[in-house]
Amino acid sequence: FVAEITPALGYGRTIFHVLEPSRVDGLARYTADAEGNLRAAAPVLPGVTYAVTARLPLYSAGQIRETPRFDPRSADAPAMARYLQLPDVPERVLRLAREITAGQEHPYDQAVAIESYLRRMRYTLTPPATPPGRDFVDYFLFVLQEGYCTYYASAMVVMLRAVGIPARFVEGFAIPASSPYTVDDRGWRIYEARNSQAHAWVEAYFPGYGWVTFDPTPRADLPVISRNA
């Protein structure tokens, strides 16, 4: 998959891309960290177009269920340790994660159970503020039970880590399939990505398979990610 990006504003050295990037054309030099975040050697000026070649994974629930549970003694454990760290959250948050996943044997099905639980809550862009001194995730799960993407993604990451599944919080843009677009003379679709389309979601790690995307935010325009390939 190749996407051409033309920033309308200055975002410093940030290079935008889709999921798993493998190559950048149109910028002199860039670096990539272990998580695939791309940074240009110099600030990318507004109006400069670059192209990113990326892999778009088609997830298979059947294949993921064939992977073993993450072993903290495995060779990749040191690299995954950061994705299992937990803040000092109230015990009831950890207990809720265990209750939601009880009866689900494979970590994938545990992740789906947590995603499904959160998607039953109410989406709103105007939730009340978390009171000073209250844990953000605890207050969301047990008091508010409504919010926007960062609330849901934060809660899912904490709950996944609570049951031993490496997980990370991801931020970017989500352009719904219903978004308007134009077509250029090559037949390529051109979408506008606006700040209003900023979104947060979750990736969970399954040994031997890799990072898999989950979206626990209950937005009608962003359906559950297909994992039936």
| Total number of residues shown for the chain | 229
Catalytic residues: 149, 199, 215
Given a contact cutoff of 8 angstroms between Cβ atoms, the answer to whether 213 and 59 are in contact is: yes
DSSP-assigned letters across all residues of the chain: -EEEE--SS--TTEE---SEEEEEESSS-EEE-TT--EEESSPPPTT--EEEEEE----BHHHHTTSPPP-TTSTTHHHHGGGG------HHHHHHHHHHHTT--SHHHHHHHHHHHHTTSEE-S-PPPPPTTS-HHHHIIIII-EE-HHHHHHHHHHHHHHTT--EEEEEEE---TTS--EE-TTS-EE----GGGEEEEEEEEETTTEEEEE-----TTSPPPP-B-
Provide the b/e sequence for 163-196 (b: ≥16 CB within 10 Å): bebbbbebeeebeeeeeeeeeeeeeeeeeebeee
